[in-house]
Amino acid sequence: MDGSTQDILTVKKLQVNFHTFAGQVKALDGVDLSVKRGEVLGLVGESGSGKSVTALSIEGLLPQNAEVVGGQIILNGKDLLTEKQGEIRTARLREMAMVFQDPLTYLNPVLTVGSQILEILETDRRVFTPVVVAARLEDLNKAAREGTLTEKETREKASLEALLAEQTLGRREFKRLAKAYAVAILGRVRLPEPERMFKMYPFELSGGMRQRTMIAMALVRRPALLIADEITTALDVTVQAQILKLLRELKDQIDASILLITHDLAVVAEICDRVAVMYAGNIVEVAEVGELFKNPLHPYTQGLLAAIPRPDAVRGELTSIKGSVPNLIYPPSGCRFHPRCPSAFEKCPLSKPPLVEARAGHYVECFLYGG
């Protein structure tokens, strides 16, 4: 896959090792990935396949014992791996946002929901001034169209329009607008009574509400890339459905690409445009959602799809991929899947297969399809 200009994010040959007492864990072994502008890319794989490590590498938030050994992470044309820490922080603030798995442990227990959102905006007042002013103006314009504008609001509208041109805003004025904007965002993630939610502490909210809050924290920044790491895993099934519905609604409203990390193929089928399948630190297959489900090429993907229980299957029969996820301290040679692969042949243990385009837009990393 070449990093074409319409890609918002391109990850090339990313290699990450973890230093542990037991030895070096080769967690990512040359990950290639690209997210196109406006698309939802699903990243699926078993636990331990390296999905979250990929996400944390992109964010530059790998734990201390991790080391990026090689590769590139290009976000909006900048290689994040060569940028300074400060630049990466700015990128996290303005260009990408991440929503995590467990909404209870990821929210600070001693700060209110509102303050945890406001602090994002206050980190860079200059950048977010146009955002909050525009949000307020949008409200005022709507009121103007409906003819419910008070005299005071008319004056505010005029002054804000002037402000938008100058882009300067006093601290208190900024705070007032930022708060209104944050409350509006809380409403947009379908939290009931956003005004009240703003003042609540995380422990006072349910799991679904907390997840919505975390999504709100991502949305206020208007990120170009939204990374959603197993966002439905820790939730009840009914709440999962609501959060997915919300994500699908937001996908149309916001101008962001989404990297959706999950181990749940049903979630992928639900909202993704394309899917990348990960196995033991490699991307083994990338394709459009429909194509992948209809025509899986890699033996691992085939096994994964066959393992989904079906109501029409013979009773008592559950298919699984034989063997287990390899120990990544001593990963299998060549293709990391070969010890478990039903179609493995002499070439597989010898070298790592290249990613080949087996059909149009359908990439697979397997010797069965060439290379």
Partner 1 sequence: MKLYEYAIRRILLMGLVLFGLSLFMFYLTRGFLPPSFALAPYITPRMNDAQKLALAQSLGVATKSCASFQAFSAFQQSCLVPVWAQYTQWLGNVLSGNWGYTLLPTAGPAAKTTTIFFSRFPFTAQLAVMGAILTILIGIPLGIVSATHNNKLPDHISRIVSLGGYSIPQFWFGYVLLIIFVLYARIGGLGLLPGSGSLATNCAICFANVVTPKAVTGAPILDGIISGNLHFAWDSFVAMILPAVTLSITSIGALTRIVRSSMLEVLRQDYILLAKSKGLQERVVIYRHALRNALLPAVTVAGLLTAFLFGGVVVIEIVFDLPGVGYTSLQAVNVFDINFVELYVLVTALIIVVTNLAVDIIYAKLDPRIRY
Least CB distance to partner 1 at residue 314 (A)? 42
Residue with Cβ nearer partner 1 (13 or 199): 199
CB of 99 or CB of 135, closer to partner 1: 99
Asked if 108 is part of the footprint of partner 1 (rule: CB under 8 A), the reply reads: yes
Nearer CB in complex with partner 1: 220/344:
220
> Residue 98, interface with partner 1 (CB under 8 A)?
yes
Looking at 203, 245, 255, 324, which residue binds partner 1 (CB under 8 A)? 203
**Nearest residue (CB) to partner 1, 1 versus 127:** 127
According to the binding rule CB under 8 A, does residue 199 interact with partner 1? Answer: no
**Mask of contacts with partner 1, 267-306, x by CB under 8 A?**
----------------------------------------
By CB under 8 A, the residues from 204 to 223 that bind partner 1 are 214, 217, 221
105 binds partner 1 (CB under 8 A): yes
Tell how strand 362-364 and strand 356-359 pair up: antiparallel
Query: Which residues 35-94 are close enough to bind partner 1 by CB under 8 A?
Result: 59, 61, 89-94
Shortest spacing between CB 108 and partner 1, in angstroms: 4
Is position 369 an interface residue for partner 1 (rule: CB under 8 A)?
no
One of 110, 162, 237, 360 touching partner 1 (CB under 8 A): 110
Closest approach, Cβ 34 to partner 1, in A, equals 21
Minimum CB–partner distance for residue 61 and partner 1 (Å): 6
Instruction: Tell me, letter by letter, the H, E, C secondary structure of the chain.
Output: CCCCCCEEEEEEEEEEEEEECCEEEEEEEEEEEEEECCCEEEEECCCCCCHHHHHHHHHCCCCCCEEEEEEEEEECCEEHHHCCHHHHHHHHHHCEEEECCCCCCCCCCCCCHHHHHHHHHHHCHHHHHHHHHHHHHHHHHHHHHHCCCCHHHHHHHHHHHHHHHHCCCCHHHHHHHHHHHHHHHHHHCCCCCHHHHHCCCHHHCCHHHHHHHHHHHHHCCCCCEEEEECCCCCCCHHHHHHHHHHHHHHHHHCCCEEEEEECCHHHHHHHCCEEEEEECCEEEEEEEHHHHHHCCCCHHHHHHHHCCCCCCCCCCCCCCCCCCCCCCCCCCCCCCCHHHCCCCCCCCCCCCCCCEEEECCEEECCHHHCC
Q: 103 or 296, CB closer to partner 1?
A: 103
Site for partner 1 in 122-161 (CB under 8 A): 123
* Interface positions with partner 1 (CB under 8 A): 59, 61, 89-94, 97-98, 100, 102, 105-112, 119-120, 123, 201, 203, 214, 217, 221
